[in-house]
Amino acid sequence: MILNCFFFASSLAYPNSSRQLCDSCRGRAEVSRLIFAAASQKYEDIRYEIDEWPSHKAEMPLGQMPVLEFNGTKLPQSKSIARFLAKQFQLAGRDNFEQAKVDAVGDTIEDLLIKLTPVFYEQDESKKEELRKKYFDEELPKHLQNLDVLLKDFGNGGPFFVGNHLTWADLFFYDLFETILVMNENCLENYPRLK
Ligand SMILES: N[C@@H](CCC(=O)N[C@@H](CS)C(=O)NCC(=O)O)C(=O)O
């Protein structure tokens, strides 16, 4: 099976952080790349730079990326792509209810990502810092508290969010926190289970 992913490359730099991220933000396709890697599956990974994007936008069903091409059809929406791949490769939960628990974790992670995006897109440096501080002081703790509850309830005391085995929810959390920890390396200190 050959699958193509499309993805935006953009820069992410936090000069005050001691953590380093790769020189381009991995974006919304990264969780799918991690699923492919965890399942040892081959796929084609096509990435566009910002200046290449206008000539490809019309090729995408919703004019957005990422898009997965499977058997000649293009599937948009990063979480739908991730769920599809996870189901293909048995990383979505072992029964219907486990899948719902994995989805609940994935949706809770998405909640904290949605609130973070204004920080990424703010161009004014002082406003960006203000938003960043507010996010880490007020917003993120609520979401981490929610994730901690789900980890406790669904994870059977083990290291995975659901059912003592790896699912795409773990990969989604790992992917996002690689970025978030660059922005604030202490943000998981009060959540030892999540850390
Ligand atoms: N809900 C969508 C959001 C996709 C999205 O916003 N993609 C952005 C890049 S992160 C995009 O393609 N922007 C370019 C454009 O809209 O022209 C998903 O999760 O895939």
User: What is the count of structural domains for the chain?
Assistant: 2
* Structural domain that includes position 133: 96-183
* pLDDT of res. 9: 42
* pLDDT of res. 82: 96
Pocket residues for ligand 1 (CB within 6 Å)?
8, 27-28, 57, 63-66, 77-79
* Ligand 1 pocket mutation, candidates 5, 10, 26, 28, criterion most atoms within 8 A of CB: 28
CA of 66 to the centre of ligand 1 (A): 7
pLDDT > 90? residue 90: yes
For residue 191, tell me if it sits in a domain: no
For residue 122, tell me if it sits in a domain: yes
- Segment 139-192, tens digit of pLDDT: 999 999 999 999 999 999 899 999 999 999 999 999 999 989 989 999 999 999
Residues 108 and 173 in one domain: yes
Q: For the chain, give the DSSP string.
A: ---EEEEEEB----TT-S----SSB-GGGHHHHHHHHHTT---EEEEEEGGGGGGTGGGSTTS-S-EEEETTEEEE-HHHHHHHHHHHTT-S-SSHHHHHHHHHHHHHHHHHHHHHHHHHH--SHHHHHHHHHHIIIIIHHHHHHHHHHHHHHHSTTSSSSSTTS--HHHHHHHHHHHHHHHH-TTTTTT-TTT-
Residues 152 and 75 in one domain: no
Residues 163 and 108 in one domain: yes
- Segment 45-74, tens digit of pLDDT: 888 888 888 999 999 999 998 999 999 999
